[in-house]
Structure 1
């Protein structure tokens, strides 16, 4: 499908699913009021796109080649490199009863970092072309850790600024998410049905009231930690963003570097996102 076809999907993301990310993003204090059953559990789920919603969430923000600043450069825009799960789901009697991940791709959950005390969702969609999603969609063979090809994939992200390439996020194995596979799926089903309005998070059930009209869900599984450059450098116009989700058993880090350098490679088991900041 082309990205426009995903306008009929709901867009949600998981907060705090990689160690240290919230602290590096300046959001740890906001989330201090959120208590989790396990120390390493994600903090919660937030919406970034709800079709026909009366708020800013009704704007479709996803693009595969551009991030538009919309005059928000002074709000400290930052790449968030993630795996996006493209899912079917079952919704009955006002409850999510199942989530079925069908495919995945590289995703940039680009975010505003200036702390304004509002809900996390307000930092995640400030207009058209403010999110990134690769058109390299890879089917999921299984969502169990023991036999899923996803267990072999890594996430890497980079910024090219003034012709110089910088590591932006730390290279992270997909299986190093705090919660993933069956554990993440079960946790998400529970959160969709029980999450309350607290701190930076919102109750989710109101966003699902027209869920049966949706074709599926795009769920961003959580952002990696940052390199030193990524922690201290926010997006500027002209920056090039690269996010790779690649099978590290097939493609080397050097393959990724060569691809960004313009070497003609076939990255057959890789989802690549390349965006220009405008």
Structure 2
């Protein structure tokens, strides 16, 4: 299975504001302040990052597993966004999504432009080919609930710059997401069908007509918060990006550090993404 090729036939959406504090750390809280949610702490909404066949930048396939291309836009302040990607089947009836079925998960880098220009969030999420990252180490989801395997996993992210490793995002449990498991799934179905145009977010019904030909949906579940280094340091050519989604019951944080530093470490229950910025 070549995941990068297979996902060209999937729709790509991501969740905004699903980790407490991320929007503030990313400098996006003001843009989202006009969006009211049904309950405090809920994600702000969904945004598209890839719609196959769309006649805009969204029709450009952005996923890659080994590099991030800046397309000479380093001045726009590019940042890693370390996330869990859910690779999902879906049921589409009467022009509506009626169910989403997460089948696999993977480490994801929802790499983003941070320059605030008042445009829709999606315009900062896909600025060309190979501007997003997904690991080919996909892990089957046994049960998308608190009782399933995903509840044991943590997310960690790092940059190696000039030979020095820095924590980029705070290491978090997947269970730290504001919405996850059935609550997230039900919320995503509702957002895909009902989200309206507001502030940085778009009405999503316009994209669902492309669901007829899609094999599935990739959902980036939301980015972790940043370390102090991550808040202040944007991507440069030559940086190495590492995102790990790992079973914290099977692997220690030190195991992850050892692997990143080149030591021979067995990570049998881990999805690892390693990209070089070019």
Structure 2 Cα separation of the partners of residues 4 and 72 of structure 1: 26
TM superposition shift of 1:265 = 1.7
SS in 2 for 1:84: strand
TM superposition shift of 1:256 = 0.3
SS in 2 for 1:103: strand
Q: Quote the residue 2:89 is aligned against.
A: 88
- Asked if 1:106 is matched to 2:107, the reply is yes
Structure 2 Cα separation of the partners of residues 115 and 209 of structure 1: 30
SS in 2 for 1:209: helix
TM superposition shift of 1:72 = 0.3
| 1:168-216 deviation digits (Å, cap 9, x = unpaired) | 0000000010000000000000001100000000000111102021000
Structure 2 Cα separation of the partners of residues 238 and 208 of structure 1: 38
- Asked if 1:256 is matched to 2:259, the reply is no
| 1:60-80 deviation digits (Å, cap 9, x = unpaired) | 000000000001000000000
Where does structure 2 lack aligned partners over 5 or more consecutive residues? none
Structure 1 Cα separation of the partners of residues 182 and 6 of structure 2: 27
Structure 1 Cα separation of the partners of residues 104 and 67 of structure 2: 23
Structure 2 Cα separation of the partners of residues 23 and 94 of structure 1: 35
| 1:6-61 deviation digits (Å, cap 9, x = unpaired) | 10000000000000000111110000110001111000000000001000000000
- Asked if 1:188 is matched to 2:210, the reply is no
- Asked if 1:227 is matched to 2:227, the reply is yes
| 1:244-276 deviation digits (Å, cap 9, x = unpaired) | 000000000010011011111221100000000
Structure 1 Cα separation of the partners of residues 210 and 83 of structure 2: 27
Structure 2 Cα separation of the partners of residues 177 and 240 of structure 1: 26
Q: Quote the residue 1:31 is aligned against.
A: 32
Q: Quote the residue 1:170 is aligned against.
A: 170
Q: Is the 8 A contact 2:53 2:210 kept in 1?
A: no
- What count of residue pairs does the alignment treat as equivalent? 277
SS in 1 for 2:54: coil
RMSD value, Cα: 0.5
List structure 1 runs of 4+ shifted beyond 6 angstroms: none
| 1:217-248 deviation digits (Å, cap 9, x = unpaired) | 00000000000000000000000000000000
- Asked if 1:21 is matched to 2:22, the reply is yes
SS in 1 for 2:33: helix
SS in 1 for 2:99: strand
Structure 1 Cα separation of the partners of residues 145 and 245 of structure 2: 18
| 1:68-126 deviation digits (Å, cap 9, x = unpaired) | 00010000000000000000000111111000000000000000000010000000000
Where does structure 1 lack aligned partners over 5 or more consecutive residues? none
Structure 1 Cα separation of the partners of residues 212 and 91 of structure 2: 8
SS in 1 for 2:145: coil
Structure 2 Cα separation of the partners of residues 172 and 273 of structure 1: 16
Structure 2 Cα separation of the partners of residues 212 and 83 of structure 1: 25
